[in-house]
Structure 1
Amino acid sequence: MATTGAQAQTKAEVMHWWTSGGESAAVQELAAAFNKAGGQWVDTAVAGGEAARAAAINRIVGGNPPTAAMFNTSQQYLDIIKEGMLNDIDAVAAKEHWDTMLPAPVISSIKVNGHYYAAPVNIHMPSWFWYSKPAFAKAGITGEPKTPDELFAALDKLKAAGLVPLALGGQGWQEYITFYSWLAQVGGTDLYLKFFKDHDAAVVNTPAFRKVLTDFKRLKSYTDAGSPGRNWNDATSMLITGKAGVQIMGDWAKGEFNNAKQVAGKDFGCFPGFGPKSPYIIAGDVFVFPRTKDANAIKAQQLLATSMTSPATQVAFNNKKGSIPIRTDVDASQMDLCAQTGLAIMKDKTRQIGVPDMLLAPDVGGAVQDIISKYWNTPQSVDDVVKALQGAIKG
């Protein structure tokens, strides 16, 4: 079939790392919206976030960039902005009123020196607690845990019932999510922000922070021998099949439940933290647009930014991805119980805090993650990990 002139002008090669079942279904919604708007989506998927980001940066630096490349809502792309290697999308941001429509933590990540350099496609909250309804029933757990103590009691019951209480993929980034989720949801917003935002080394040695570290390590006793090296979606599958009870993971896990035709509130449960004012950690995914002077490529970039962030695309994509839309003016009735909960919380700005990747430079964040993984996987004392974290956070 011959390619039309319009398609040729708006062909876009899009690099991303969405390769699991739920992720693949979700990215197809972005592609369909772009194609419907007159574009031609060319898919380049690279498994693994670090590998995909490295491949994108290598191509950008090497002078053979894709039209758009995926990053997290973070500081990951600040260096290529400083080097002048990205096009801004200010025209789309102005037309779509991003200054007033987007949450402040997202704006602070994608708007640099007064210019928008990335199009956000979702808001992920990495600190959701997921649980298998059949596993809870088998263990005799009748209610959703409302406090940390109730969660530990539920984990004990799951263990007694011969199930895996806590499904965890033993990889550094997953252990890190478990840590900062516990810090935010149990230690509280102030403790979390003093550490990640203020880089307050003294707070690490307070009784409240030390208790977070102790309870975090206690969670390991509820994982199974197969945990080390396990992928996150394989851990989610343990809940889907009723072999495990609980998983602490971002709302991308919901994409796997959805892909397995499971229904929130019926087959699985979800809660974003403990108590009505628990912090809602904002993370997510964005697409950046490598520098080009080619008018057709720039047109494709702006069409991508517009189609990705439109209300209808936001609902269709996020329903499959498990995340929630970047905008609150969407029809929430089309979304599931967990997403509706997230959207309602997002309207309370006092509960919004940025993910650590937004608050720490990549090298500092990497050092903290390495310390947490060592603590999780070795018999290291709380005193030793306190000293290590204090050294790292001073940066």
Structure 2
Amino acid sequence: MPQRKPPHRSAVEYAALGGLFCVSLALPANAAERLDIMHWWVSSGEQASIEVLRERIRAQGLKWHEQAVAGSGTARYIDALRKRVASGRPPSASQMIGFEIQEWAKAGHLESLDEAAARNQWDEVVPFGIQALSKYQGHWYAAPINVHSTNWLWINQRLLEKLGSPPAPDTWDDLVLLLERARAAGMIPLAVGWEAWEHTLLFESIAVSTGGAEFYRRAFVELDAEALPLPLAIRIFERMRVLSRFVDPGFRQRRWDQATDMVRKGEALLQVQGTWVDGEFALHGMQPGRDFQCFRFPDTQGVVLFNSDQYVLLKNGPGSQAARRTLLNTLMDPDFQAAVNRRSGAIPARVDVPKDGFDACGRRAIDDMRSANMRRTMMGSIAMGNANPPAVKTTIYSLVSRHLKGELDDLRAGQALLRALSGDP
């Protein structure tokens, strides 16, 4: 439910130094107090989004100290956070996703958010799939600010028109035909970066497309190895092999956002990636329908594979309970979630925020989320750590990336996947 905003107070200044972005933060009643925020939003589009939070916090008379660390699928980021906590310097709040929230709550590092959740009725407005990750043993430990979905195609409109403006690829065969046409026309069909989490984004969309929603839930969320017979595992990797034929050799040296730039600049036809691409495109003034198209990955219509950026409060971090309460209220405020997600390409992590001001891709994503939430086809992304625990995710990262690079054949990759889901080394 919409909440009353705290009274506005004076703004404060901040400084950005290299890869670390720092702002002094204190409550007016105590000039020495500060909140220390840690996050991994470092790309151009992500920085435009975090500025929304900076502005809201400043407007409420708070100062903060901010550290941004590139995520690498969150692995590098979590390492940096772990070092800070081990050295006795935990931040006040940290961005976190997926099962990492469960692990940090289990280890006793996080403050319970039950009081704020009950007061603001989070159980009624946060989608069920996200709640399962925000909570540990029935208690709230994280405040979700958005929903990114990963099973999307992002297609350059100008290149699509050069191919005769074919209709949206609704099936796997449609997608392969489109990629073949692009290659025949001298285009790079599929832009991909070098990191394993990106390769796993391809894998998870193919897995749903090949086996269906219920299969994905049983195999990758519930970790029921019996739900994945070896022939189906091999079939998924065969399709991965097909897509690998449309990737240019330069993928081994580029980041995900550089792959996005290839699509934006018309250097590649499409990218399979999360809705943060919409934020990158919007930063450059691009509009869906005019400059690019967003389509669900073929045969995954009705399914939302999601990543939800959440914030946790670290025990023993700087900042009073009053300051932390103000931060939580801001993060879960419907107006804030609408504002930040119109910039980021994501959508609010609440089902009650109007679609006003979102572009066509955002409005479609909101409709998809509301429908999938009710049908229980809104499921966590493997690549983004929202489907299964970190140990399983890391194993899948490795075997999927090795397969894409030609280091594993389809049979060996399928066998390794079955072992990963059954808990075998």
The two structures share one fold, judged by TM-score above 0.5: yes
TM-score interval for Structure 1 and Structure 2 normalised by the shorter chain: over 0.9
**1:57-136 alignment, distance < 5 Å:** 57-72=82-97, 74-136=98-160
Letter in 2 for 1:17: W
Per-residue deviation at 1:258? 0.7
Supply the distance in 2 between the matched residues of 1:206 and 1:363 (Cα, whole angstroms).
Answer: 21
- Aligned-partner SS, 2:272: strand
Per-residue deviation at 1:277? 4.4
Q: Determine if the alignment matches structure 1 residue 259 to structure 2 residue 287.
A: no
Supply the distance in 1 between the matched residues of 2:305 and 2:284 (Cα, whole angstroms).
Answer: 26
Q: Determine if the alignment matches structure 1 residue 322 to structure 2 residue 348.
A: no
Q: 1:374 aligns with which of 370, 377, 402?
A: 402
- Aligned-partner SS, 2:88: coil
The C-alpha deviation readout for 1:200-220, integer Å capped at 9, x for no partner, is: 334433544432221111001
Letter in 2 for 1:11: R
Per-residue deviation at 1:114? 2.7
Partners of 1:26 and 1:318 within 8 A in 2: yes
Q: 1:358 aligns with which of 386, 397, 400?
A: 386
Supply the distance in 2 between the matched residues of 1:198 and 1:227 (Cα, whole angstroms).
Answer: 32
Q: Residue 312 of structure 1 corresponds to which residue in structure 2? A: 335
Supply the distance in 2 between the matched residues of 1:6 and 1:166 (Cα, whole angstroms).
Answer: 54
**1:1-395 alignment, distance < 5 Å:** 5-6=28-29, 8=31, 11-48=34-71, 49-72=74-97, 74-274=98-298, 277-292=301-316, 296-348=319-371, 349-350=374-375, 351-356=377-382, 357-378=385-406, 380-395=408-423
Partners of 2:230 and 2:418 within 8 A in 1: no
Supply the distance in 2 between the matched residues of 1:40 and 1:191 (Cα, whole angstroms).
Answer: 47
TM-score by length of 1: 0.94
**Identical columns (%):** 29
Letter in 2 for 1:63: G
- Aligned-partner SS, 1:226: helix
The C-alpha deviation readout for 1:218-268, integer Å capped at 9, x for no partner, is: 001101111113111100101111111110001111111011110012100
Per-residue deviation at 1:278? 2.9
- Aligned-partner SS, 1:291: coil
- Aligned-partner SS, 2:189: strand
The structure-2 alpha-carbon separation of the partners of 1:4 and 1:304, relative to structure 1 and needing over 3 Å to count, comes to closer
Supply the distance in 2 between the matched residues of 1:55 and 1:207 (Cα, whole angstroms).
Answer: 40
Supply the distance in 2 between the matched residues of 1:106 and 1:135 (Cα, whole angstroms).
Answer: 36
Give unpaired runs (5+ residues) of structure 2.
Answer: 1-11, 14-25
The C-alpha deviation readout for 1:325-368, integer Å capped at 9, x for no partner, is: 01122221210111101111111121311223233221121111
Supply the distance in 2 between the matched residues of 1:384 and 1:209 (Cα, whole angstroms).
Answer: 10
Supply the distance in 1 between the matched residues of 2:151 and 2:301 (Cα, whole angstroms).
Answer: 14
Supply the distance in 1 between the matched residues of 2:173 and 2:397 (Cα, whole angstroms).
Answer: 26
Supply the distance in 2 between the matched residues of 1:185 and 1:32 (Cα, whole angstroms).
Answer: 41
Letter in 2 for 1:15: M
Supply the distance in 2 between the matched residues of 1:136 and 1:293 (Cα, whole angstroms).
Answer: 50
Partners of 1:13 and 1:66 within 8 A in 2: yes
Letter in 2 for 1:68: A
Per-residue deviation at 1:390? 1.4
Give unpaired runs (5+ residues) of structure 1.
Answer: none
- Aligned-partner SS, 2:348: coil
The C-alpha deviation readout for 1:275-314, integer Å capped at 9, x for no partner, is: 58431112121111111387x4322222111101211111
Which stretch of the first structure deviates more once superposed, 12-21 or 186-195? 186-195
- Aligned-partner SS, 1:347: helix
TM-score by length of 2: 0.87
Per-residue deviation at 1:182? 1.1
Supply the distance in 2 between the matched residues of 1:173 and 1:203 (Cα, whole angstroms).
Answer: 23
Which stretch of the first structure deviates more once superposed, 347-356 or 227-236? 347-356
Partners of 2:234 and 2:413 within 8 A in 1: no
Partners of 2:93 and 2:311 within 8 A in 1: yes
Supply the distance in 2 between the matched residues of 1:380 and 1:65 (Cα, whole angstroms).
Answer: 40
The structure-2 alpha-carbon separation of the partners of 1:106 and 1:378, relative to structure 1 and needing over 3 Å to count, comes to same
Letter in 1 for 2:401: S
Letter in 2 for 1:347: R
Supply the distance in 1 between the matched residues of 2:300 and 2:398 (Cα, whole angstroms).
Answer: 32
How many residue pairs were aligned? Answer: 393
Letter in 1 for 2:75: E
The C-alpha deviation readout for 1:182-203, integer Å capped at 9, x for no partner, is: 1113321122122212323344
Supply the distance in 2 between the matched residues of 1:4 and 1:108 (Cα, whole angstroms).
Answer: 33
Partners of 1:10 and 1:38 within 8 A in 2: no
Structure 1: which 4+ aligned runs deviate by more than 6 Å? 1-4
The structure-2 alpha-carbon separation of the partners of 1:286 and 1:269, relative to structure 1 and needing over 3 Å to count, comes to same
Partners of 1:9 and 1:300 within 8 A in 2: no
- Aligned-partner SS, 1:301: helix
Supply the distance in 2 between the matched residues of 1:231 and 1:315 (Cα, whole angstroms).
Answer: 28
The structure-2 alpha-carbon separation of the partners of 1:343 and 1:174, relative to structure 1 and needing over 3 Å to count, comes to same
Letter in 2 for 1:389: L
Per-residue deviation at 1:272? 2.3
Which stretch of the first structure deviates more once superposed, 112-121 or 356-365? 356-365
